[in-house]
Amino acid sequence: MNVNTTTHKQLSQHNTAAGCYAPGGRYPLPSSVLMTVVTARAAGCPYVVLASPRPAPITLAAAHVAGADIVLCVGGAQAIGCMAYGIEACDELGAAEVPACDVIVGPGNKWVTAAKSLVNGYCGIDMLAGPSEVLVIADHTADVEIVAADLIAQAEHDVVARAILVSTDVDVIVKVNAEVERQVDCLPEPNRSTAKEALTQSFSIVCKDMDECIAMSDKLAPEHLEIQTENSQEVADRCANYGGLFIGTHAAEVLGDYGAGPNHTLPTGGTGRYTGGLSVFNFLRIRTWMRIDNKKESQDMVEDSVRMARLEGLEGHARAAEARSLTLTPAYKKANNGSN
């Protein structure tokens, strides 16, 4: 953009080194490898580090397919520290150098989240992820078997996961609860025990109308929001706060987990009110610059800057602007002349 022969530009520039964390606790999560590493590569990051505790063969395969440069077989706070501060190469152990990462992304347990909060500022992070959650808005048209299956799918993630049902129809809630009990008993272990414990802290909300359903959802700002209602698109269009939105019976949240629609690294714990899911933008930096070639044409900006600086009481700023003026004598010259 050119204004009075002043050139202004804004550039997006990728980070040099990206760190990606993939959990490996109850289940191997190669999907998290793909969601983070592929996104970093798509942004143009030339070096990508993946950390995952006790990576399963499928996790290592995903790292290869996604294009990770190095895999750290370590988890928790130690992994975040390694990626944030880097590791020197050790020839005796055959260990390669790990560069300090400019940004660290990916979900993890409370120790990972705590470590990310500590290094935030030294390097960038995507978000402070909490327990996974889903909220389903359902009315009398919802398929209770599908709603129950989606709630259970979220509950099996972790014992602290939350599955929330919001509906205008009490009968739907009663039927979904019965269906959840039936389906969860069919799960293998450890999925069944994990889901059952998570369901003890999950809940349903009965609302008087769809407006109240939407208001409740926006207040909670869930990580995953499913709309299983009549006129689902209209309802979805009125929802404002969420991580990922899944509209209609066929748009299962689990499809989003594995590659359809939003990145599955999403804001939790109500943070969807002010931030969104992982994307290439997490690996890009905005750079702005300006150049002035015509001193005469820039005088309006110079004079505006002098006035604004003095209104703020920043005399040094004002004098730096005056030094570029064709009509104003810089105050430091006046001061020097007066002293002579």
Could you read off the pLDDT of 308-329 as tens digits, one per residue?
999 999 999 999 999 999 998 8
pLDDT, tens digit (0-9, with 9 covering 90-100), for 85-109 = 999 888 777 777 899 999 999 999 9
Q: Can you tell me the distance from the alpha carbon of 125 to that of 235, in angstroms, rounded to the nearest whole number?
A: 32
Phi-psi region of 165 (alpha: psi -120 to 50; beta: other; left: phi over 0): beta
Closest CA to 137 of 205, 223, 219, 234: 205
Go through 36-61 and write b for each residue having 16 or more CB atoms within 10 A of its CB, e for each that does not: bbbbbbebebebbbbbbbebeeebbe
pLDDT, tens digit (0-9, with 9 covering 90-100), for 195-214 = 999 999 999 999 999 999 99
Give this prediction's pTM.
Answer: 0.88
- Helix or strand or coil: residue 164? strand
Read off the tokens for 235.
């309802």
φ/ψ of 256, rounded to 5, equals -65, -30
Report the chain's terminal Cα–Cα distance, integer Å: 45
> Taking the C-alpha atoms of 194, 199, 202 and 204 in order, what is their torsion angle to the nearest 10 degrees?
150
Inter-residue contact 244 to 250 (CB < 8 Å): no
Residue 262 pLDDT: 77
Q: Can you tell me the distance from the alpha carbon of 224 to that of 312, in angstroms, rounded to the nearest whole number?
A: 46
Q: Could you give the C-alpha distances from 12 to 100, 281, 292, in angstroms and in order?
A: 21, 9, 21
Confidence of residue 260 (pLDDT cuts 50, 70, 90): confident
Among 223, 226, 253, 322, the one annotated catalytic: 223
Mean pLDDT of the chain: 93
Among 156, 224, 226, 264, the one annotated catalytic: 224
> What is the pLDDT averaged over residues 24-34?
89
What is the share, in percent, of the chain residues with pLDDT greater than 90?
A: 82
Q: Give CA angle at 311 (305, 316), nearest 5°.
A: 60
> What is the pLDDT averaged over residues 230-236?
97
Residue 95 pLDDT: 74
Confidence of residue 27 (pLDDT cuts 50, 70, 90): confident
- Write down the H helix ranges in 11-159: 30-33, 39-43, 57-66, 76-85, 110-119, 144-155
Q: Can you tell me the distance from the alpha carbon of 277 to that of 262, in angstroms, rounded to the nearest whole number?
A: 7
Instruction: With a cut of 50, say whether residue 292 has pLDDT above it.
Output: yes
Instruction: With a cut of 70, say whether residue 84 has pLDDT above it.
Output: yes
Q: Can you tell me the distance from the alpha carbon of 309 to that of 318, in angstroms, rounded to the nearest whole number?
A: 5
> Taking the C-alpha atoms of 195, 196, 201 and 205 in order, what is their torsion angle to the nearest 10 degrees?
90
Residue 1 pLDDT: 47
Confidence of residue 10 (pLDDT cuts 50, 70, 90): confident
Q: Could you give the C-alpha distances from 212 to 4, 9, 37, 73, 142, in angstroms and in order?
A: 52, 45, 39, 47, 18
Q: Can you tell me the distance from the alpha carbon of 23 to that of 108, in angstroms, rounded to the nearest whole number?
A: 6
Confidence of residue 146 (pLDDT cuts 50, 70, 90): very high
Instruction: With a cut of 80, say whether residue 2 has pLDDT above it.
Output: no
Residue 4 pLDDT: 54
List residues bridging with 291 in a β-sheet: 7
Active site residue 189: no
Active site residue 224: yes
